[in-house]
Structure 1
């Protein structure tokens, strides 16, 4: 969804911006275009405007991580850390708007740990007009992907294969969705929060894109026409994300209703585990067993 929306002339897609400094400073984690961030035509020059130091990375984590929830919500973050965070994010987002020639920055940071408070902090600490687009997926499909394929970082050789992948998948999926639902409902106006089902994006892309356009105030007709033609969408210069960032372009796969059960190959053990610990939230999100 990030890549498709990022091909709109009013939107600049940036991927998982919460990991910008970490990826910038890590060998073997280049921009999606394949170049190191310091040499990338899109990101080049950012380091002259903002600090991409380890110290700045620590400030970002201290404000955006789930452990910072109480401090952020009660406004007890040290003033100097808040000001450094504010300057950094304003510099990054200004660079993105100028480099992308767009008025809207799309940030797809989604970690239930590292980025749990990011959308709140960007709104309340930095002062941005934040719209939360909450993309959900049937938890069984999320579990099947994690169990059968593994984590992206492990597959790319940047981490060890996860232990107890079924438990980790259900735990992470539950926490991420509950967290986003709770913070959004408590602290964001109804017109600043929208939930989209991944399955609706792939089975009814035109209708779903039109709804997203109405939510963020842009016309989606050009993107809808491209989806209908089966056009490819440029990946551009995203930070982080899954393995498709290594492709120069992607297509939005159009699934039929019959293709909406990618969890069918889960074994009985994992299916039972999800039924006990995850289906209650699946039902809240609109997914029947």
Structure 2
């Protein structure tokens, strides 16, 4: 495998859509939020996007012959990738044994993906919040992959509205209870994930290994956004642009996690004009005010005016 395109940022920012579209390129394999593969492997009811359990999935089941996909392995991954691991990992205070176990596991997983698909680029849209906050750093600095960070952002008011009005994906799929104070959680999670991505990318990734993309640009100017993404990772995306212009549906494949639309088996990018952006429209007065106080300062830094 030559490189990983890591989609960083927070949820509800369109990562599943971008992941799937890029995964329809012959040199690219889309795997979704692969950080949760081992967790889902051992969780009753969690399914691959194809609808099968991971042990029965024609794409993933062979991985069990390469690696031990146990709850112990899942715990090992979290010890390196979750937000609470930030200081130990950055200060190199975790054991050499843990680092080697993590490196070997990730190299086995990504080698399996390369050998199974023949793709030279893997799109990992695990993002950079909560349990996966350290993942893009760890894949680069511990597992020693060539990681290109695509920081996908969306107007924080829109992500907040999506989270408040619809709830978390896990709750929507029946795997968790609805969360209390979704507006507060949305603003806090969105802020931490995006600030963390900005800080780590600036400190540990060269300028040619980091690119920020607005989801709104993807849906209003898809050709321009896909062309820039293709140049970033070194592939010709004209075929994808042509398919978007024709209104084609893109096959989802075998993604792990992500938006529940992955279970539709195919995704179509819906064009919107700039005039259709109404980030405040689905927020009540309390949530609008709360975001204005605690989130708009970062929203402005990411290019979203008041």
Structure 1, 255-264 or 211-220: larger mean CA deviation: 255-264
Query: Given the alignment of the two structures, is residue 121 of structure 1 paired with residue 138 of structure 2, yes or no?
Result: yes
Aligned residues: 289
Task: Choose the corresponding residue for 1:9, options 22, 26, 43.
Answer: 26
- Aligned partner of 2:162 in structure 1 is 145
CA–CA separation in structure 2 for the residues paired with 1:219 and 1:87: 31
Deviation at 1:262? Answer: 4.2
- Aligned partner of 1:74 in structure 2 is 91
Deviation at 1:279? Answer: 0.2
Structure 1, 34-43 or 136-145: larger mean CA deviation: 34-43
Task: Choose the corresponding residue for 1:207, options 218, 221, 224.
Answer: 224
- Aligned partner of 1:192 in structure 2 is 209
Backbone CA RMSD of aligned residues: 0.8
Deviation at 1:29? Answer: 0.6
Task: Choose the corresponding residue for 1:239, options 215, 232, 256.
Answer: 256
Tell me, what secondary structure is at the counterpart of 1:201?
helix
Unaligned runs of 5+ in 1: none
Unaligned runs of 5+ in 2: 1-17
- CA deviations on 1:230-282 (whole Å, 9 max, x unpaired) are 00000000001111111110101111112211431211111010000000000
TM-score by length of 1: 0.98
- Aligned partner of 2:172 in structure 1 is 155
Task: Choose the corresponding residue for 1:21, options 38, 53, 75.
Answer: 38
Query: Given the alignment of the two structures, is residue 225 of structure 1 paired with residue 232 of structure 2, yes or no?
Result: no
CA–CA separation in structure 2 for the residues paired with 1:257 and 1:112: 28
Tell me, what secondary structure is at the counterpart of 2:147?
coil
- CA deviations on 1:35-64 (whole Å, 9 max, x unpaired) are 111111111210110111111111100000
4+ long deviations beyond 6 Å: none
CA–CA separation in structure 2 for the residues paired with 1:241 and 1:61: 18
CA–CA separation in structure 1 for the residues paired with 2:296 and 2:107: 40
Deviation at 1:76? Answer: 1.8
8 Å contact 2:30–2:124 — kept in the other structure? Answer: yes
Query: Given the alignment of the two structures, is residue 83 of structure 1 paired with residue 100 of structure 2, yes or no?
Result: yes
